[in-house]
Structures are given as structure tokens and as C-alpha cells.
Amino acid sequence: MKSVKESVTDSLDGGDIRLYPYLPYLLQDYLAFGTNPDMVNQMVRSSFSNPDRLRILDLGCGKGAVMVKLAKEFGCRTHGIDAVPEFIHDAKQYARQMGVEAQCHFQVDDIRTSISRLANFDLVILGSIGPVLGAIGETLSKLRQCLVPNGHIIIDDGYIPEGSNCTHSKCITQSQFFEQIQKAGFSVVSEQIVGSNYISEMNKQMLSAIKRRAAELIATNPHLASVFEEYIQDQQQEGEAMEELACSMLLLQRNQ
């Protein structure tokens, strides 16, 4: 198993573990980097008759953008876990600013091990963190135990559309993707494809911010210049690859 630092760095599209302590600085300009909180809110609003009663678990919650928005809008209780202490610190501050700190519990931990101790959640959110828990089928099998019977998962992931010639080391084809979901004992309730224009614009904005922060880090850490420059290249390549994938937000329900 990869170390926590390796897993976090990889989930944020970095290839060099020396990058790990600088990730909070590089990503400081964004509260949400990955899953769109508005899309999650819309999916919850349209799919649950009593969202205020939901008990929600957000794995790899980052700075709490999704959790806090859900708690603010619906009054539900949320539990977020992330392995980066700086992200959890920012998440707690954000919850206080929004007046929902009593509804949001945040924890610094490794989600790969902590999920074995978590249970009875109505909804689990896994947003744009890549295959930290394994491929889609393995991930869903591990998350079953965290859910109540007939509980739900919102997962933000990508797959290779049928007939596409694109390749990606972390993604499988559309048919493989949905076959693994079924084999893991889940049904697809709804799916929303994120538009390529939105993805392109968000990637452009984030890359610009990361370049600016990387330049600041290079000025004070010139011996790590190649590490930061490589991260910029990784981000650019990942952004370009995402535009060819089907970036999908899925609501899944656990089968009995």
C-alpha cells in the first residue's frame, strides 16, 4: 500500500512525493478543487424527499466545500475526512464562517483505513479523488459497509466513452465502468455528465493559479524547481485528458 503522502499526492495528480508539503500552498486559491458543490446540491435536492435527515460522509473532503454547502442548504449532518491537516483546518474555518460548525464534523485521517470503522451513513460522497480506494468496483465494495441498507453514494469520476480512442491510466471504458458498478451491488439512480466547456474553463483557471503559486515557491525553494514545474505539466496533461473523458457525477443506490 502506498503511504498516505503518496496517496494524497497521487489523488491530486502529482507524481513526486516531495510535492506533498507544498500542496496546500499550491491550492490555496481554491475552496473546491474537483467536485462541483452546486452539482452535488442539485442532485441531493432532486433525489431525496427529506435531505435534512440525511447523515452524510464525505471521503477526501478537502476544504469542506461540498459538506458545508449541503449542511447550510439542507440542515443535514455531515462527517468529512481528509488526510491533509491544512485542508481540514480550512474546512473547519469555512464551516464556522457559514454558521454550520455544529452540523459538520471534520477528521484528519486516511480514508483507506478509516472506512472500516464507519457505518450507518445514508449518503457517501466520493468526489474527484481518483482510485484511492481502488478501481470503481473495488471502491464500491469497500463503501457498502459504510451505508445503511438501500443507502446511496454520489461519486464524481470519469470513464472512456464507447468508441473513443483516448486512453487514461486511471480510467476504464464506459461498459467496464458500469459493469463494475452492477457487480459491486449498486444501481444507477441518476447520472449527470459535466460539460467539456465547464471542465476546460475550470482547468484553465486552476492551472493559472497553480502556475502563479509554483513561481512563488520556486523563488524560495529553487532546489525544488523541477518538482513544481513537473506538477504544472502534470496538471496541464490531466486537464487535457479530462476533456476527452466522460466526466460523470453518479448517484448510486446500494442493492439489498
Q: CB within 8 A of 249, min separation 6: which ones?
A: 35, 36, 39, 40, 43, 154, 155, 156, 191, 192, 194
Q: For residues 111 and 92, what is the distance between their CA atoms, to the nearest angstrom?
A: 18
Cα 245 from chain centre: 16
Neighbour count for residue 47 (Cβ, 10 Å): 15
Q: Which residue has the cell 439512480?
A: 189
pLDDT at 118: 96
Contact 237, 167 (CB under 8 A): no
Q: Which residue has the cell 445503511?
A: 148
Q: CB within 8 A of 25, min separation 6: which ones?
A: 213, 216, 217
Q: Is the CATH code 3.30.43.10 the one for domain 4-199+237-252?
A: no
pLDDT at 195: 83
pLDDT in tens, the chain (256 residues): 899 999 999 999 899 999 999 999 999 999 998 789 999 999 999 999 999 999 999 999 999 999 999 999 999 999 999 999 999 999 999 999 999 999 999 999 999 999 999 999 999 999 988 889 999 999 999 999 999 999 999 999 999 998 888 888 888 999 999 999 999 999 999 999 988 888 888 889 999 999 999 999 999 999 999 999 999 999 999 888 888 888 999 999 999 7
Q: Which residues of 191-220 are buried (b: 16+ CB within 10 A; e: fewer)?
A: ebebeeeebeebbeebeeebbebbeebbee
Distance between first and last Cα of the chain: 31
Q: Which residue has the cell 515557491?
A: 217
Domain edges within the chain: 4-199+237-252
pLDDT at 25: 97
pLDDT at 75: 96
Distances (CA, A) of 164 to 85, 130, 172, 196: 39, 20, 11, 15
Contact 70, 81 (CB under 8 A): no
Q: CB within 8 A of 9, min separation 6: which ones?
A: 15, 16, 17, 19, 20, 23
Contact 229, 214 (CB under 8 A): yes
Phi first, then psi: give them for residue 186, nearest 5 degrees.
-130, 150
DSSP secondary structure code for residue 160 in this structure: B
pLDDT at 198: 85
Q: For residues 239 and 115, what is the distance between their CA atoms, to the nearest angstrom?
A: 29
Neighbour count for residue 31 (Cβ, 10 Å): 16
DSSP secondary structure code for residue 161 in this structure: P
| Single pTM value for the model | 0.94
For residue 153, the cross-strand partners are 124, 252
